[in-house]
Structure 1
Amino acid sequence: MASSRRNDADGLLLERHGLDRRDFIRVCTMAAVAVGLPASVGVKWAEAAAKGLKPSVIWLHFQECTGCTESLLRTSHPALAQLILDLVSLDYCETLFAAAGYQAEDALKSAMAANAGKYICVVEGAIPTKDNGIYCKIGGKTAIDMLNEVANKAGAIIAIGSCASFGGIPAADPNPTGATGAPMILAGKTVVTIPGCPANPYNFLGTALQFVTFGTLPALDEKGRPRFAYGRVIHEDCPRRPHFDAGRFVQQFGDEGHRNGWCLYKMGCKGPVTHANCSLQPFCEVPGAWPIGIGHPCVGCTEQATAFRIPMHTTVEIEHVTPPDGYPPIKAPQGAVSAVAAGLAGLVGGALVGGGWVAAKKADGGGEKAGTKPDKGA
């Protein structure tokens, strides 16, 4: 009976979003597969959501353009933009809040108190540290103080976007506000970083739902990034990789190679050093919706040592050289011998011939003086 009532309640919830139970499970499964997790995980997500086990999310905004939030809102699986609000309980988000001022502050305090030790703290944007952090204040509190307060009671901390992960654009030289990332402020705490400019929303969704379903975080690399999304460089899975292996490179924007979709490495593509899944998980589920897909080199936005530091069209070294990387280009440059080089070669050749002839004459003369001339009767 209780199960029947629960199923009816779940059915009403799904009906509100134009989905039946089968569609709901399908969407959860698609979300799991999209971030490289088994389809069975999607079923468990659906079951957890049906039981009301939605992670409380407190979303903080600091120095940023709100692009990561906008990216999250533009997921386009069937009604997923609305469904996310039922899979994840977004209890505080300045961008999406109808409340403001004291109402917003009360909502933040209430969410922290009700879900202490269990909520997910999401950080979007860099944190300024210069002059005691006065360059970013919300409700009279600096970003540093607000982040420390919320993160101290969180069950999990996620830095979404390059700005929150390592400082991003605000931290680019000359970095006038002393901007830095959440992991640097929260040293000693585990901070999951999901860099990108903007970050892919499914990388965040997969991390958040794994935490609420299993109580664990995904395997992370040394920079705190989920390995399922950042375990390989873009170069390894780039759709233009066959052109790289064959030596077909764009030489300038608009040339024949550019029009034919050739490799953008010589135009400054940072794919060989950029760990991300952009080529496998495009934005808004639109094939080709990422820089290389629209004909522009990757700018390396997920890498602290590359993004907003190396000039956009400067070529980088290949991080993991594989055998095809050593193949000659389709049109190998042809060398030419200059007139000076030809003249020098002629002089050297003439000297060698002349020296040989003189040596031969001396050898013949020396034989006669030694009395080795052949006998007449011989």
Structure 2
Amino acid sequence: MNGFDALYAKAKDRIQALSELPSFKEESIEQMLEGRGIERRDFIKWAAGITAMLALPSQFTPLFAEAAKMADRIPLVWLHMAECTGCSESFIRSDAPTVDSLIFDYISLEYHETLMAASGWQAEENLNQALKKYAGRYILLVEGGVPTAMNGQYLTMGPQGRTGLSVVTEAAKDAAAIFSIGTCAAFGGIQAAAPNPTGAKGVDKVVSQSVINVPGCPPSASNIVGTLMHFLLFGTLPALDRYHRPKWAYGNRIHDLCERRGHFDAGEFVESFGDDGAKDGWCLYKQGCKGPYTFNNCSTERFNQHVNWPIGAGHGCMGCSEPDFWDTMGPLEKPIDSHLVMGLNSTVDKIGTTLLTATLVGIGAHAVASIFMNKHDEKGGVSHG
């Protein structure tokens, strides 16, 4: 049996195992989607999109559709630590229901402070009961950094005044999988910026279990749902990079597939916001874009139902899915100093490697040629008209 056949067989076995678990919903996912105005055709297109996004052959599309139908059989517990709730907000704020958000609704969400009606003692009891009832089965999702200074006393929650540190470590013990949602949960985020008086850390630094980091400020809904669907279908963690991010989502730099990449190679840079280059969609590197050092799929998945993303809207990437981005990626609207570039990214494209790592301008080899030709034109040497 080759690798493809083995993976396919594993997915089939997983679906069989899920089908034997009790369902938490009275209506099927098809009924739920139909009631929200989503046709089956759109559901299959969504499954095909998830398959492609995870870099799997199209033969897996029916399997993802089947796995989604049983999404309610895996309980979710979503905890909030030190954060702004922006990851949850961005996920639920859309002008119309998306299949991503509806799939998430269909999953058995046992605890989520922002979305549930319960509060106080009742909410805390719901959490305790979910951790006991579904021990070993639930997926734990954590949003926000975890303060650790003074034994976690910088973050207390609930009527018993428990620390966030104690809550997340207890919840992690019996979780089938743990996902850090957003950069704060993955790496500490802005809470961990120097001098970090609260001792904020990413979840994987305070628990002993394996953690999947899904960073971004916020991460796209596709990255959240895609990570969930991978675990739902295969029951295992996806291939991860050295920062425990799924490679299918964070395997390429923003720079690799940026719509302005051609302008970078041609040496066409925005010199100031609002200039002619900005109006023509030129490269934003000189305005502080951190795309060459940031690993994420924003350029392909985008935000607001795939409509746009920061660079498409005219502002450079700020590197929010990288560790310690608040300290290492600043200033926000200026290129990184060359001595930092060497430490942050030693795999910059061969095109422009020397100048990108040795100067503040970051103009590639093709850019040098372009600038030389432009200057030559100004002296009347050559006409490209």
TM-score normalised by L of structure 2: 0.78
Q: Which residue of 2 aligns with 1:29?
A: 48
Q: Measure how far apart 1:263 and its partner are.
A: 0.5
Question: Residues 104 and 225 of structure 2 are in contact (CA less than 8 Å); yes or no, is this contact kept in structure 1?
Answer: no
1:88–1:76 Cα change, 3 Å: farther
Q: Residue 79 of structure 2: SS of its match in structure 1?
A: strand
C-alpha displacement of 1:154: 0.2
CA distance in 1, matches of 2:72, 2:94: 22
| Worse-superposed segment, 121-130 or 208-217 | 208-217
**Structure 1 residue 244 displacement after superposition:** 0.6
Mapped to 2, the partners of 1:73 and 1:265 lie a distance apart of 32
Match among 130, 135, 146 for residue 127 of structure 1: 146
CA contact (8 A) 2:251 2:296 kept: yes
Tell me, in whole angstroms, the C-alpha distance in 2 between the residues paired with 1:174 and 1:52: 42
Bigger radius of gyration, 1 or 2? 1
Mapped to 1, the partners of 2:369 and 2:152 lie a distance apart of: 51
Establish whether residue 284 from structure 1 lines up as the match of residue 299 from structure 2.
no
SS in 1 for 2:277: helix
Whole-angstrom CA distance in 2 between matches of 1:78 and 1:258 = 33
CA apart distance, 1:297:
1.1
Secondary structure (helix, strand or coil) at the match of 1:284 reads: coil
Asked whether 1:137 is paired with 2:137, we answer no
Percent identity (aligned): 44
Residue number among 308, 326, 343 corresponding to 1:307 in the alignment = 326
Among 47, 52, 62, the alignment partner of 2:81 is 62
- Secondary structure at 1:92 match in 2: strand
Q: Secondary structure at the match of 1:193?
A: strand
Counterpart AA for 1:323: I
Cα gap change, 1:255 to 1:279, in 2 (>3 Å):
same
Map 1:338-357 to 2 at 5 A. Answer: none
How far apart, CA to CA, are the structure 2 residues paired with 1:226 and 1:8?
A: 32
Per-residue CA deviation, residues 111-148 of structure 1 (Å, 9 max, x unaligned), is 22222112111010011111111111122210110000
- For 2:212 and 2:95, the matched residues in 1 are separated by 25
More off after superposition, 324-333 vs 86-95: 324-333
Change (3 A) 1:72 1:36: farther
Asked whether the equivalents of residues 144 and 182 of structure 2 are also in contact (C-alpha less than 8 Å), the reply is yes
Amino acid aligned to 2:349:
V
Give 2:267's aligned residue.
247
Distance 2:59 2:94 in 1: 21
CA contact (8 A) 1:161 1:199 kept: yes
Distance in 2 separating the partners of 1:251 and 1:194: 33
Cα deviations by residue, 1:163-190 (Å, 9 ceiling, x for unpaired): 001111111122221111111111x421
Deviation for aligned residue 1:308: 4.2
Letter in 1 for 2:270: V
C-alpha contact 2:173 2:209 (8 A) present in aligned 1 = no
Q: 1:15/1:291 Cα in 2 relative to 1: closer, same or farther (>3 Å)?
A: closer
Cα displacement (A) at 1:220: 0.4
The alignment status of 1:201 with 2:221, answered yes or no, reads yes
Partner of residue 113 from structure 1, selected from 128, 132, 151 = 132
Say which is worse superposed, 160-169 or 176-185, in terms of deviation.
Answer: 176-185
Aligned to 1:292, the other structure's residue is in SS state: coil
2:151 equivalent to 1:161: no
Distance 1:77 1:326 in 2: 45
Amino acid at match of 1:326: A
Q: Does 1:272 align with 2:300?
A: no
1:251 deviates by 1.1
1:89 corresponds to: 108
Q: Is the CA contact 1:272–1:320 (under 8 Å) kept in the aligned structure 2?
A: yes
Deviation at 1:152, TM superposition (A): 0.6
- 1:271, 1:300 within 8 Å by CA — same for their partners in 2? yes
Mapped contact 2:81–2:143 kept (Cα < 8 A): yes
State which drifts further: 231-240 or 53-62.
53-62
Decide whether aligned partners of structure 1 residues 170 and 153 sit closer, same or farther in structure 2, where only a CA change above 3 A counts.
same
Unaligned runs of 5+ in 2: 1-24, 353-363, 377-385
Equivalent pair of 2:68/2:103 in contact (CA under 8 Å)? no
C-alpha RMSD of the superposition: 2.6
For residue 365 of structure 2, what is the aligned residue in structure 1?
326
- By how many angstroms is 1:12 displaced? 3.3
Residues 29, 40 of structure 1: 8 Å contact kept? no
What is the number of residues matched between the two proteins?
328
Q: In 1, are the aligned partners of 2:270 and 2:277 still within 8 Å (CA)?
A: yes
| 1:110–1:32 Cα change, 3 Å | farther
The structure-2 alpha-carbon separation of the partners of 1:138 and 1:8, relative to structure 1 and needing over 3 Å to count, comes to closer
Contact 1:55-1:208 within 8 A present in 2 as well:
no
1:34 Cα deviation after fit: 4.2
Once the two structures are TM-superposed, the CA of residue 11 in structure 1 deviates from its matched residue by 4.6
Closer/same/farther in 2, CA of residues 275 and 79 from structure 1, 3 Å limit? closer
What is the correspondence of 1:181-260 to structure 2 with a 5 Å cutoff?
181-186=202-207, 188-260=208-280
Q: Is contact 1:49–1:86 with CA below 8 Å preserved after alignment?
A: no
Task: Say if 1:249 and 1:131 are closer, same or farther in 2 by CA, change over 3 A.
Answer: same
Alignment check: 8 A CA contact 1:136 1:143 kept: yes
Change (3 A) 1:86 1:321: closer
Amino acid at match of 1:104: A
Give the distance between the partners of 2:81 and 2:26, measured in 1 at CA: 41
Q: Measured at CA, do residues 76 and 153 of structure 1 come closer, stay the same or move farther in structure 2, by a change above 3 Å? A: farther
Give the C-alpha shift of residue 65 in structure 1: 0.8
Asked whether the equivalents of residues 125 and 164 of structure 1 are also in contact (C-alpha less than 8 Å), the reply is yes
